[in-house]
Structure 1
Amino acid sequence: MLIALNKPFNVLCQFTREGDKRTLAEFVQQKNVYPAGRLDYDSEGLLLLTDDGGLAHRLTDPRHKQPKTYLVQVDGAATDEAVQALRRGVVLNDGPTQPAGAEHAVEPDWLWPRDPPVRFRKAIPTSWLSITLREGRNRQVRRMTAAVGFPTLRLIRVSVGGYALDGLPPGETRVLAP
């Protein structure tokens, strides 16, 4: 079984409760499925869950290089130079990243409001990027955008490999064909 979840903001990527934080148990009714990969507590978007260990391995093991695409709202008007740096790969404290697919994007018209909303500062604009990775380090997109001078404000994973959100509302699930 393979399930797509549009993970809401501020939800732990686990089923076991930890304090008063929301978990996947609130949204996923199917039993014996587990996340194929992770999505940070403060990130949103596509999370795949499965009961098939082999499939989970193919989706998450870096050797299979499944592309993961994110829409990223950053603080400031992202420059062409910053996008080029992301494309080349940037040096983080744990070493250089692989080159990323990166391009300027526009805020999509299908985007849901975030609760709580991203902070608004009248004097500082925000902009959107589309970033595709084939590796998956801890908080990698956030660290990469910060390294090029544009900290992440909102991070939404829109696809993993051949699977995409495709209009799935936040907190909802859809059974997929593996």
Structure 2
Amino acid sequence: MPARVSEALILRTYPLGEADLIVSFFTRDQGKLRGVARRARRPKSQFGASLERLAHVRVHYYQPEQRELVRLSSCELIQSQFELAASYATGVTLDYVAEVSEQLLPPGEQNERFFRLLLLVLEYLRRWRDAAVWPAVTYYTLWAVRLSGFLPQLRLSEQDQRIQELMLKRSLLEITPEGWSRSTGAD
């Protein structure tokens, strides 16, 4: 039962019994894993806020052979998304990013580029807050389906083709959110 330490983002948690949680997390080096965090729902839990949605953590876990679920022993919080979740718009964006990531990522498959995409989107949201919601969602969605191998040939308007080319060639941090609305990139 080797002990591992990985940098990770928490995707989702599920209650297990009275005091435990099943945690779905995406590590930089092992891909998406699921594990049990014992006593995580107790008031004086050692995990604290480190198991919140899209928290950037350093997770310590054991991976027993022939078992699907790992056992989390502790989490060190690197970056919390608590301030982002305080706003309704960015909170919904965090939910969207976490849910799509949970569905698209296969278990146990390393994907460094997807991990960097998630960190980039979170940094962009922290920098621009509510103004960044639509560029962040558009950029994340485009790159998430591309990195997962699902990006089809798109029929887009001329404006949206320019947006797609811009997003595929530049980092999200180079794109300013001014002038973006829900209808921008609606194709």
- TM-score w.r.t. the length of structure 1 is 0.29
Higher helix content, 1 or 2: 2
Determine which structure has the larger strand proportion and give its number. 1
Q: Determine which structure has more spread, i.e. the larger CA radius of gyration.
A: 2
State the TM-score, normalizing by the size of structure 2: 0.28
